[in-house]
């Protein structure tokens, strides 16, 4: 399902931190239904993805392994609810930890 989105889609937030990257293992935490109508089901999928960031080339190249959280919004037809539509799939990978930005705390109230 979502693995195909990581393989087939360039993820802007990863492009910003590395000249080249590879995605590895994708772990799913939750899949929620956002909407249902006569023809379509909207989903939100959260989890984390292992990424290898590549810097430089040849003998002076470096690779750094990281793990980032992601949120995927996508859709499927009601006829095939587990066949996600790639043209309606958007991946957002949270790379704030890479930039040293503090993680947002959830409101406890």
* pLDDT attached to residue 105: 57
Which pLDDT tens digit goes with each residue over 85-100?
888 888 888 888 887 7
Give per-residue pLDDT as tens, 37-59: 989 999 999 999 898 988 887 77
pLDDT in tens, 17-40: 887 888 888 888 999 999 999 899
Distance CA 55, CA 72 (A): 26
pTM given for the model: 0.73
| pLDDT of amino acid 13 | 80
Average pLDDT, the chain: 82
C-beta pairs of 87-94 under 8 Å, 24+ apart in sequence: 89/2, 89/5, 89/9, 91/2, 91/5, 91/6, 91/9, 91/11, 92/13, 93/11, 93/13, 93/14, 93/49, 93/51, 93/68, 93/69, 94/13, 94/68, 94/69, 94/70
């Amino acid at each position: 399902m979502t693995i195909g989105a990581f393989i087939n889609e360039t993820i802007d937030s990863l492009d910003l931190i590395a000249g080249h990257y590879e995605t590895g293992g994708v772990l799913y935490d939750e899949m929620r239904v956002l909407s249902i109508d006569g023809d379509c089901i909207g989903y939100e999928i959260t989890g984390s993805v292992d990424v290898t960031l590549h810097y430089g080339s040849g003998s002076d190249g470096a690779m750094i392994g990281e793990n980032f959280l992601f949120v995927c919004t996508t859709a499927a037809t009601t006829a095939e609810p587990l066949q996600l539509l790639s043209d309606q799939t958007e991946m957002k990978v949270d790379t704030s930890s890479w930039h040293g930005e503090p993680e947002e705390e959830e409101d406890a109230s």
